[in-house]
Structure 1
Amino acid sequence: MYDVIIIGAGPAGIFAALELIAKKPQLKLLILDKGRGIDARRCPQKEKNIPCVSCSPCSTTCGWGGAGAFSDGKITLSTEVGGYLGEYIGEPALKGLIDYVDSIYRNFGAPEQIYGVGRDEEIELIRQKAVLADLRMVPAPIRHLGTGRTGQIMQRMRESLEQSGVEVRTGTVVQALLVNDGVVRGVLTQDGEELQAQTVIACPGRDGSSWLREEATRLGLTMAINPVDLGVRVELPAPVMKPLTDVVYESKFIFHSKSFDDKVRTFCMNPHGEVVTENTEGLMTVNGHSHAEKKTENTNFALLVSKNFTEPFREPIAYGKYVAQLGNLLSGGVMVQRLGDLLAGKRSTVERIRKGVVRPTLPEATPGDLSLVFPYRFLKGIVEMLEALDAIAPGVNSRNTLLYGVEVKFYSSRLQLSTGMETEVRNLFAVGDGAGVTRGLAQASAAGVVAARSVLERLTK
């Protein structure tokens, strides 16, 4: 019998454990994750420069530290981006929590530098240019950990928790939540082991969003449908984005397409970074990293189109998977296309890409035609957004700009939760990206703290 079982060792789960053990050291805590520990999370594709071999579980997206352990590690110090946590606890409380988790990251080795502060005149000039291009700039100060350093910080957190008596089991798949009479009783692992607990905090991350949705359906929990975020990763020469990245590091812009009024946004900008692949439940998708030390000549960022679905279709995750599967079918993995070829209605080839000025940082991507993958309205919104961005960063809309697909974010089903992150099942809490509440390190970490404080209050009573 455990006091608390935490499912998922990503930022939400880690920060829930840190908060619990800091405030009540005598608690018996167990953290479960289907992935491996930091040291054992090795990707053959990256290490041996071979095509993805579909490891199960994927070490890029699963394991201690979550998908963020090997990401570029950006802590966005703003309440305006990164999820919906403010809707539950209020903006002032969220701001305080973000500052709180930021201080914990710094205690474990995060650098002191913050991008996007102290350069008000330059930021205002960018904002003015954005307005003239029908773009809304979202101010977002960022503390950049960097790929490599992020994993080191997460490992230090694990060591601290284990020294405090927290039990950690990696390589353990949770098959089901155990619920009796509307109260959670523990979890059932894939190996048939029943682990009992007074409280369960589910933090499965994006890779586990489908599992959480299936469990919620089985238990009859109410779910809201978030928009599906689907799009491409853009790669171009770093000097093109330098006027923006030198000032704010990650530029966050929101655009509404003229043709369909769909919301298009920039996401996860990586100055001097590299494009990478992710294996999400057998689907090859694309992402981007920016390393703390290793630099490339390119900058990459995502352009994501948000689309709501209404009756009769209520399966945004299935829709995102379908588009990703189509991209995998046509390319064998990730597809890349020059913007000029897309606009000309041509399939990109190795020769055409080689003629351009952008050297791909993901050489295994297959040249192809993204118009055979994405619906017209998605591509139309992306093209219009590139035209708008060109007004503030000339060169974005170049024929040589590379577009990789498919990038999709699987956090579309949001459980009905209390202000303390409790589900309709008593003592079952759900937080993080997989619960559809957050979209990044800062808010995921903060959500873990919210759930932990709710648990502490209940245990005290």
Structure 2
Amino acid sequence: MKQYDVIVIGAGPAGIFTGLELAGSGLDVLIIEKGRDISSRRCPKNLMYKTCVNCKPCDILCGWGGAGAFSDGKLTLTTEFGGMLDAYIEKSKVSELIHYVDQIYVKFGGPQKVYGDENKEEIRRIQRVAAAADLSFVPARIRHLGTDNNFEILSRMREYLSDKCEIRTSTAVESIIVESGKYVGVELAGGEIIKSKYLVAAPGREGAEWFVGQAQKLGLSLVTNPVDIGVRVELPAVVMEHITDIVYESKLVYYTKSFDDRVRTFCMNPYGEVVTENNAGLITVNGHSYATKKTNNTNFALLVSKSFTEPFKEPIAYGKSIARLANMLGGGVIVQRLGDLLDGRRSTPERINRGLVEPTLKDATPGDLSLVLPYRHLVAITEMLEALDKVAPGVNSRHTLLYGVEVKFYSSRLELNSVLESQIPNFFAIGDGAGVTRGLAQASAAGVVVAREIMAREGKKQG
């Protein structure tokens, strides 16, 4: 039985940057990924089918590069959103780490352009208009890689690491082995046991539920994260371009008058398209934008954050129950014109076709989101659209399309120390699936934090 120095579970950005940072250190590293290698990742729906065929695991969410391989590849160069690393690490240090990983993305083919470096006065003007509408406008420096270019960058990282660590794709970890309070190794789905001195768990969002189950089995303390559920909004790109041409993606935050619930924009995709994701059989909605092709539409998510108290402990199960209801009623993703939602009627194919916004997601089912989303969520979303209309007139148009549901399966967080180590020595937890981060930049930075700590303990220097 081979003994490794480090096992990394998951080859998303957190796991990849752990590997990149450990490369050349002399440590024996194994990266295990349950999805396919990046050269083999092909969504059958995009190739030959019109609808999702429920691949297990999903090629969009799993495989080398994680869900980020087919994301629009936005590097959010700020500590203000994209994760909660600053809950563990000093904010100035997090900022340094984000700059560090950003330069690595550029080294592997990221574009030089960064949105948000110019037009400071225009940004201030948008902030003033937003404030008057009870919105907090949080601009950020954004490096947009693009879905197509991001895939190529991740492929180059895979090639770079091919002779520097062992990589096993299409290999699922069944369980984490701990004996007498000490980490020992992992058991694979086929029964093989692999041991190592250190474990870096970076399971990604699709592996979040599995990871919570492992933590509970090991008796580790968990902190329940807020549950983020909402819709993806699609509208003509011209409505938002006075914002997106300057900052590309902004974070607009609103607290509802009715319930004081927090609503925010998320994952804005100028000139992009709406897409589906398969989360273990549940079809949810997301958005992409490309470096080399554009549509006439912009899309973004509106997510309502809810923090539950005792005895609630299952944020993932709650989100899945709502997604399951949408799938039951719509056979997948539901699309509805805002005007139809406000009039209390379902959208039909005829009403969608008469609208001014042509859907980029062609297989969404026209329907009624009021039969799916909780009342508080609907109130929050409609209030937010009214507020956004004051910043970008046209957002609250009756023709605006709403796709549902969008759910972010953030795991409950383990209690971690300042180097992202769990209560079990040498067992680290990072990335979106561990509930620590919520985007490419901070997930990548978390991998660097853990890798550097392991090298320090082993008296190694970065290669």
What does residue 8 of structure 1 align with?
10
Letter in 1 for 2:275: V
What does residue 276 of structure 1 align with?
275
Letter in 1 for 2:82: G
Secondary structure of 2:36's aligned partner:
coil
Letter in 1 for 2:81: V
What does residue 38 of structure 1 align with?
38
Residue 458 of structure 1 and its aligned partner are, at CA, apart by: 1.6
Q: How does 1:262-273 map to 2 (within 5 A)?
A: 262-273=261-272
Unaligned runs of at least 5 residues, structure 2: none
Task: Indicate whether 1:87 and 2:94 are aligned.
Answer: no
What TM-score does the superposition give when structure 1 sets the normalisation length? 0.98
> Is this contact kept in 1: 2:35–2:170, CA < 8 A?
yes
Q: How does 1:152-163 map to 2 (within 5 A)?
A: 152-163=152-163
Secondary structure of 1:111's aligned partner:
coil
Q: Distance in 1 between matches of 2:129 and 2:48?
A: 44
What does residue 67 of structure 1 align with?
67
What does residue 142 of structure 2 align with?
142
Q: How does 1:276-315 map to 2 (within 5 A)?
A: 276-315=275-314
Q: Distance in 1 between matches of 2:391 and 2:72?
A: 24
Residue 87 of structure 1 and its aligned partner are, at CA, apart by: 1.1
> Is this contact kept in 2: 1:85–1:438, CA < 8 A?
yes
Between 350-359 and 176-185, report the one with greater CA deviation.
Answer: 176-185
Q: What is the percent sequence identity of the aligned residues?
A: 62
Q: Distance in 2 between matches of 1:133 and 1:415?
A: 37
Task: Indicate whether 1:19 and 2:21 are aligned.
Answer: yes
Residue 402 of structure 1 and its aligned partner are, at CA, apart by: 0.2
Letter in 1 for 2:428: F
What does residue 52 of structure 2 align with?
52
Q: Distance in 1 between matches of 2:314 and 2:209?
A: 11
What does residue 426 of structure 2 align with?
427
Secondary structure of 1:64's aligned partner:
coil
Task: State the Cα deviation string for residues 372-428 of structure 1 (Å, max 9, x = none).
Answer: 000000010000000000001000000000000010001130010010010011111
Residue 39 of structure 1 and its aligned partner are, at CA, apart by: 1.6
Q: Distance in 2 between matches of 1:86 and 1:179?
A: 29
> Is this contact kept in 2: 1:227–1:412, CA < 8 A?
no
Q: Distance in 2 between matches of 1:43 and 1:317?
A: 24
> Is this contact kept in 2: 1:177–1:186, CA < 8 A?
yes
Q: How does 1:298-377 map to 2 (within 5 A)?
A: 298-377=297-376
Q: Distance in 1 between matches of 2:238 and 2:377?
A: 27
Letter in 1 for 2:270: P
Unaligned runs of at least 5 residues, structure 1: none
Letter in 1 for 2:11: A
> Is this contact kept in 2: 1:235–1:403, CA < 8 A?
yes
Q: Distance in 2 between matches of 1:45 and 1:364?
A: 11
> Is this contact kept in 2: 1:106–1:112, CA < 8 A?
yes
Q: How many residues align?
A: 458
Q: Distance in 2 between matches of 1:402 and 1:31?
A: 41
What does residue 405 of structure 2 align with?
406
Task: State the Cα deviation string for residues 68-121 of structure 1 (Å, max 9, x = none).
Answer: 011100000000001110110111000000000001111101000000111101
Task: State the Cα deviation string for residues 107-158 of structure 1 (Å, max 9, x = none).
Answer: 1010000001111011001000000000001121100000111011011111
What does residue 125 of structure 2 align with?
125
Q: Distance in 1 between matches of 2:211 and 2:312?
A: 19
Q: Distance in 1 between matches of 2:45 and 2:260?
A: 39
Letter in 2 for 1:274: E
Residue 460 of structure 1 and its aligned partner are, at CA, apart by: 2.0
> Is this contact kept in 1: 2:284–2:332, CA < 8 A?
yes
> Is this contact kept in 1: 2:411–2:432, CA < 8 A?
no
Task: State the Cα deviation string for residues 329-379 of structure 1 (Å, max 9, x = none).
Answer: 000000000000000001000000100110000010000000000000001
Secondary structure of 2:126's aligned partner:
helix
Superposed CA RMSD: 0.8
What does residue 459 of structure 2 align with?
460
Task: State the Cα deviation string for residues 190-240 of structure 1 (Å, max 9, x = none).
Answer: 011101101010000000000100000000000000100000000000111
> Is this contact kept in 2: 1:78–1:139, CA < 8 A?
no
Q: Distance in 1 between matches of 2:39 and 2:29?
A: 22
Q: Distance in 1 between matches of 2:102 and 2:21?
A: 13
Secondary structure of 2:403's aligned partner:
strand
Residue 49 of structure 1 and its aligned partner are, at CA, apart by: 4.2
Residue 162 of structure 1 and its aligned partner are, at CA, apart by: 1.3
Q: Distance in 2 between matches of 1:388 and 1:49?
A: 39
Letter in 1 for 2:343: A
> Is this contact kept in 2: 1:10–1:65, CA < 8 A?
yes
Q: Distance in 1 between matches of 2:43 and 2:370?
A: 30
Secondary structure of 1:171's aligned partner:
coil
Q: Distance in 2 between matches of 1:230 and 1:456?
A: 39
Q: Distance in 1 between matches of 2:220 and 2:135?
A: 38
> Is this contact kept in 1: 2:302–2:381, CA < 8 A?
yes
> Is this contact kept in 2: 1:386–1:397, CA < 8 A?
yes
Letter in 2 for 1:10: G
What does residue 174 of structure 1 align with?
173
Q: Distance in 2 between matches of 1:369 and 1:376?
A: 13
Letter in 2 for 1:261: D
Q: Distance in 2 between matches of 1:61 and 1:367?
A: 25
Letter in 2 for 1:61: L
Q: Distance in 1 between matches of 2:207 and 2:196?
A: 21
